[in-house]
Amino acid sequence: MIKFGTSGWRAVMGEEFTFQNVRLVVQATANYLKKKFPGTRIAVVVNYDTRFLSERFAFEAAKVLSHNKIHVFLTDRDAPSQAQAYQVIKRKAQGGINFTASFNPPEYNGLKFNTETGAPALPEVTDKIEEEIRFLQKEYSFCPFYPKNEFIEKIDLQADYLAFIQKKVDFDLIRKSKIKIAVDMLYGTSREYLDEILEENEIPVEGLHAYIDPYFGGISPSCSEENLGELKKFVKAKKCHLGIATDGDGDRFGVVDEKGRFVIQNLILSLLLDYVVTKKNWRGGVARSVATTHLVDRIARKYNLPLYKTPVGFKFLSELFLQKKIIFGGEESACIAIKDHLPEKDGIFAGLLVAEMIAA
């Protein structure tokens, strides 16, 4: 049974996550889009992470969409989820399909759908896609050998995203503080994103695991303390002031202090909230998932800020973000929503904001 969870459909490759099931889900998504946007030129941004076969799955999705006469903006390399969300918004696409299982073990892959807002699809959307899946499962067997190339356009996601981030972080402040930063890409999509923007801004940086390994070094690509053991040692060995990690698709973060100690994400969320309120003088609503620290509540009360509590799933924070009800939202799984940013998780931006906070 193909089901969308808190962040898309994820399953073990070769079992439920197969090429035929990918074609099925992509066709169901195409059917949903054609019903939602009748008589409209439909465009979809297709992205993928560094997992085994992710690039092949993305190309298969592009083929299916092209046979539906849907214009496909296909990324020219693996890219962070938030870079795809930016392109959905910039190109006014009707959606985005991303092949990633985020921080799941290497044997998993996944398909995540973002709506025309750039935000992760809410259950009301994925429920409709699941209805299409159930209908198609009765007889669907389409297997296009060739794509319709007139509907497929390769695009670069890196340049636009880094230019966007450049305006969101005070790199001058970080550079003047003379802090040295270690970055652990965990074999994921943040390589040549997180390290590159620091280098371009002349901030001393030391990189770790900035290459593709579909086995993720034998671990799950999540920013847990257990998985950041090498970063903890690396920070101390290189005499860095801060260690920043991002997960497999770059949308979650982990932080290590100058003594090589892991700092739990709940504490980082609370510190960042206090930072944007006290140093940036932001005022507005604050949101957290029900599983996130109540320290967020205490900070909101201290500064008399409206507080919202959501079910688990970043998509619910995104909904409040799009409604302009919040300036800050956080989930204990290392996700933040920030005013004037993107309606998608962004581990790169979160890590850089931590660096800015330390520099301040």
- Please name the fold of domain 9-160: Alpha-D-Glucose-1,6-Bisphosphate; Chain A, domain 3 (3.40.120)
**Per-residue confidence (pLDDT) for residue 141, from 0 to 100:** 76
Phi, psi dihedral angles at 191 (to 5 degrees):
-65, 140
Domain 168-359 has CATH 3.30.1360.100: no
Intervals of CATH 3.40.120.10 along the chain: 9-160, 168-359
pLDDT of residue 145: 80
Distance between start and end Cα atoms, the chain: 50
CA dist., res. 246 & res. 222, Å (int)? 8
pLDDT computed for residue 16 by the predictor = 96
**DSSP code at position 183:** E
- The tens place of each residue's pLDDT in the chain, 360 residues long, gives 899 988 899 999 999 999 999 999 999 999 999 999 999 999 999 999 999 999 999 999 999 999 999 999 999 999 999 999 999 999 999 999 999 999 999 999 999 999 999 999 999 999 999 999 999 998 877 777 899 999 999 999 999 999 999 999 999 999 999 999 999 999 999 999 999 999 999 999 999 999 999 999 999 999 999 999 999 999 999 999 999 999 999 999 999 999 999 999 999 999 999 999 999 999 999 999 999 999 999 999 999 999 999 999 888 999 999 999 999 999 998 889 999 999 999 999 999 999 999 999
Helices (H), ranges, the chain? 19-36, 54-67, 81-90, 123-136, 158-166, 171-177, 194-200, 229-237, 265-278, 295-302, 314-322, 347-359
Q: What is the pLDDT of residues 279-309, one digit of tens each?
A: 999 999 999 999 999 999 999 999 999 999 9
Provide the total of helices (H) and of strands (E) in the chain, helices listed first: 12, 15
CA distance 27 to 6: 21
Axis-axis angle for helices 158-166, 81-90 (nearest 10): 90
Distance in angstroms (rounded) separating the CA atoms of residues 10 and 285: 32
Alpha helices (runs of H) in 76-157, residue ranges in sequence order = 81-90, 123-136
pLDDT in tens, 97-126: 999 999 999 999 999 999 999 999 999 999
| Angstrom distance (rounded) from CA 87 to CA 78 | 14
Q: Are 56 and 74 in contact (CB under 8 A)?
A: no
